[in-house]
Amino acid sequence: MANRTRLRFATFTILCWITLIGLAQCQKTPSLQILPAASVQRKPVGASLLLTCRPDVPDSTLISDLRWSDNRNMTIPPKATKYYYPQYDSKGRKLPAKAGQSSPPIYTESIASGQALALIFNSLQESMAGMYYCAASYSVTEQLGASVSVETYVAITWKDAPEDQRPILGDDYIVRCEVTANPPATVDWLRNGDPIKSSGRYVIENRGLLIKNVSEADDGLYTCRAVVISTGELAKRVIRVEVQIKPEVQKLPPVLNAVEGQSFSFLCNATGKPVPEFQWIKLSTQQDVSEIDRFSVNALTGQLDISRVEQDDHDTYKCVARNAAGISDSTAKLNVLIRPKIIEFMNITVPETSEAVLACKAFGRPPPEITFRRFGTTEEYSVGLQVSDDRITLDMDTNIERGETTGNLRISKIDPTDDGLYDCIARNPGDVAFKVGHITVEYKPNFDHMKLLPPVYTWEQYPANLSCFAQAIPNATIEWRWNDRPVKDLYDINMEIKNDGVRSDLIITPRERRYYTSYKCVATNRLGQSEHIMELREARVPDAVAQAKARSVSATSITFDIIPPPTEKGLPITAMYVQYKQEFNPDWNSAFNRSWSPDSPYIVEGLRPQTSYSFRFAARNVVGFGVWSAYVIQSTPRRSEPETPKTLHTPIQEENEEDDAVVTSPYADHFELRWNVPVDNGEPITFYRVKYCPGSKINGVWTQLEVDCIVEDIPTVTHYEMRDLQADTYYRIELLAHNAIGFSKPAHLLLRTARGLDVVLKVDDRAISSAAVIGIVVGAVLLLLLVIDILCCLIGNMGVLATLCRRSKRSPSELGDEEKLGSGSLIKERPPSPLPLPPPIVKLGPTTPIEDEKQPLNSGTGSNSVVASDIKVNSSVEFDGRGVQIRSGEIIGKNSSV
């Protein structure tokens, strides 16, 4: 029962609500709504406005004749029809007719599928202000209407307010900012955000801000701020003020010198702001030189360039600099110089003791100055008498009109030392010209160059050549005399004269001893005569060796000190010889032989240990062997340890080092030790031992760190590289040679390494280091290359990845072919060692055992009977100033002529 009661109550409530809604709709009054809903629409001049008139009626289909009209009840047409122009303003004044409009300023447009009508103002003008009406008919009989008032005002407008303004330094300037607004606006100023008050140098005017006596400090940003209090409108205009400075050209030199035929450049400097532009004007023609061939002007830097100067370029030029602030100029005269040219410089020939005048004439603008100097020297002669030589005078004669100068170098009492080349030097501001002339000094013959020559030697009737050459200008004629008689008149078949220009040779065949004598060479020219005596002497073999004694003896070698026999000038000793045999062997025919060049060490090697030897010595010259002499008996000691090696480093004695000299290494962490091969004393050297220890000297006593010592046995090479050394540290080096018998005495060396570069730098900030920056850049580049390679692989199947992909996808047949060819893997050869190869070890002495030397020198029977054809030798020793060279085979050839 209760449920039925509730149901009936709900149904009754719904029916009541439906009835009330129906009654409300029936009572709704038809009207028109103008949107926006405000009754007054206030907009700035120039703005756009859209007003919508929408019917608010129960049935919109009953609306007809929906229209907009102005306050004169003139209907405003839609856009498609004839344009509507207001005929009266808001005060009822008639407006002038408008023509040529491309779009109606006011028109209507149906919207919302014809359910509403819009009134559109494209650009509001003050004349468009007024009351606008919307009207419509409803159900034919009922007229509906609504109105809206449109009011306009003029917004803040910048009439004359450029954003960039450039006053000139020192002038009074108004920063322009004119504002239009209705209602009128009030204007104030700010500079760099700070308000400006009208006082002092700043005066606020209607046109803008007046700045008196503008300075560079007035640069900055100025804000022109306009406010309309009644409308609340606020506008700002930021104006950049950049003070300009009038250009000022740096004064040009009065005269600029340019050289004819050469290029010319000159820079015109000027100050100003903004940077001025430059122009060069040729005053005689008032022509801009940039329009002339060969001329160019850099308008930004003011540099004038002439590619090739000509004489017509001689004129006055003006440099003009201008910018927006003003103009400035300066003038200079361009003086075209003609480079000097030497037009006359003649060689001269003068006799000895007379005066020589060397004349040189040159041309140029301005006339050049002339001077002289000896060819190949830098010292020039000055005008007037020379301080260094009062025989020499320089004078000049200048003709300014013709541009010529003549210079005369006068030498009184000239002698042969003045003969030679001379430079004539002509110079003016344009250039320097050179020309070479020659003074030939004539003098009588002389033999100064032959006075120190040795006599001429010959022997056994070999022909001898006596050569005579006389220094003379003009050339001398040569005559030979023997016993004050002309040789040519003797008709001696043993004397023959051969003339070759200024040289004459007298060839003598001394078949008799009377030809070993003096000969006179007589030279004659038109200035005089000179004589020179030459001697022909008979050459003989060297005398006996004065003395020979052993200086150092080892088990297998002996070094001798030999005093050679005296020699004559021009007949030197060419070789020294030794024969040696065991002391108890009486036969010298089985002796061994050695030869040395005279300036080499006299060393005999390949000897037997603990053996007594007999030695004899002889000297040789171009004639032959001298006698064997200077007999020496010397025994060799037993086999023993090698001699002490000798290091090849030049030590430097330091102040506090009394015992050991110091060798400095150019490196901080390594050093290459080098040494000579020592004498092995009968047993070959098997290895070398190097020991080096760091340490220092304390109170004169060397203290080394034994725990840090390094000992290294190395093969028979003569160098060893010490690595991993400490920087700026002393090392004591000990070097020993070893053979089958034992170690040699040690060779000591004190080494100091170079100062290292491991200096710690203090960094005050935590900025990224340069190494980190480089690492980041390298990583970025590698990443970029990887991305590019991936793109190339995806787009064009190119690049490293594409190549790897293709190789990984090779067919089995290709793999099989490569395996057949043995190309399955790439095997790289080990690179050659960067260490240098050890130098070759040169052992002095014979290369064959001692028992094989069975070709002795035959001594002969007489003291002077040893000749070259009778001698057989095993080897020879020569010294070239750097080392000993050993040669085997014959060392003495057959007799030959000199």
- β-pair partners for 363: 341, 404
Look up residue 803 and give its two tokens.
């190549």
In this prediction, residue 883 carries a pLDDT of 46
Locate 2 and state its tokens. 């209760």
Do the Cβ atoms of 321 and 278 come closer than 8 Å? Answer: yes
Checking if the pLDDT of 209 tops 70, the result is yes
Amino acid at 759: V
Nearest partner of 209 among 195, 193, 228, 227, judged by Cα? 195
Residue 404's contacts (CB-CB under 8 Å, 6 or more residues apart) are: 343, 361, 362, 363, 367, 398
Q: What is the 3-state secondary structure (H, E, C) of 621-663?
A: CCCCECCCEEEEEEECCCCCCCCCCCECCCCECCCCCCCCCEE
pLDDT digits (tens, 9 = 90+) for 90-115: 556 666 655 445 567 888 888 877 78
- Of residues 277 and 837, more confidence is placed in 277
Highest mean pLDDT among 97-101, 394-398, 658-662, 763-767: 394-398
Closest residue by Cα to residue 682 from 555, 594, 788, 783: 555
Mean pLDDT of 147-158: 87
Question: In terms of pLDDT, which residue wins out, 3 or 738?
Answer: 738
**Kind and range of the H or E run holding 774:** helix 770-796
Better-scored residue on pLDDT, 850 or 129: 129
301-360, pLDDT tens digit by residue?
Answer: 999 999 999 988 989 999 999 998 899 999 999 988 888 999 999 999 999 999 999 999
Rounded Cα distance between 621 and 568, Å, is 11
Q: What is the pLDDT of residue 110?
A: 87
State the pLDDT confidence band at 701, using cuts at 50, 70 and 90. Answer: confident
Mean pLDDT to the nearest integer, 73-79: 86
Q: Are 122 and 48 in contact (CB under 8 A)?
A: yes
pLDDT tens, residue by residue, 779-837? 888 888 888 878 777 776 677 766 666 554 444 334 344 333 333 333 333 333 333 33
Note whether 594 and 578 are within 8 A (CB). Answer: yes
Q: Which residues contact 549 (CB under 8 A, 6 or more apart)?
A: 560, 561, 632
> Would you say 629 and 545 are in contact if contact means Cβ atoms under 8 Å apart?
yes
Q: What is the pTM of this model?
A: 0.45
Spatial separation of the C-alpha atoms in residues 662 and 554, rounded to whole Å: 30
From CA 204, how far away is CA 195, in angstroms rounded? Answer: 12
In the predicted structure, residue 240 carries a pLDDT above the cut 60: yes
Strands 503-508 and 495-500 turn out to be antiparallel
pLDDT(746) > 80: yes
* Bridge-based pairing state of the strands 592-596 and 575-582: antiparallel
What integer pLDDT is reported at residue 500 of this predicted model? 80
Mean pLDDT across the chain, nearest whole number? 81
Is the distance from CB of 662 to CB of 750 less than 8 angstroms? yes
Confidence of residue 60 (pLDDT cuts 50, 70, 90): confident
Burial label, 284 (beta-carbon count in 10 A; 0-12, 13-18, 19+): exposed
Coil, helix or strand at residue 424 = strand
Confidence at residue 765, expressed as pLDDT on a 0 to 100 scale: 43
pLDDT greater at residue 28 or residue 646: 646
The strand pair at 464-469 and 130-138 is best described as unpaired
Tell me what percent of the residues of the chain surpass a pLDDT of 70: 80
Neighbours of 277 (CB within 10 A): 17
Q: In 800-827, which positions are buried (b, 16+ CB within 10 angstroms) versus exposed (e)?
A: eebeeeeeeeeeeeeeeeeeeeeeeeee
Token pair for 34: 């103008």
pLDDT band for position 758 (50/70/90)?
A: very low
Predicted confidence at residue 470, as pLDDT, reads: 92
User: For 605-623, what is the mean pLDDT?
Assistant: 93
Chain-centre distance of CA 630, in angstroms? Answer: 67
3-state secondary structure of 123: coil
Instruction: Let me know: does 302 contact 248? Beta carbons within 8 Å.
Output: no
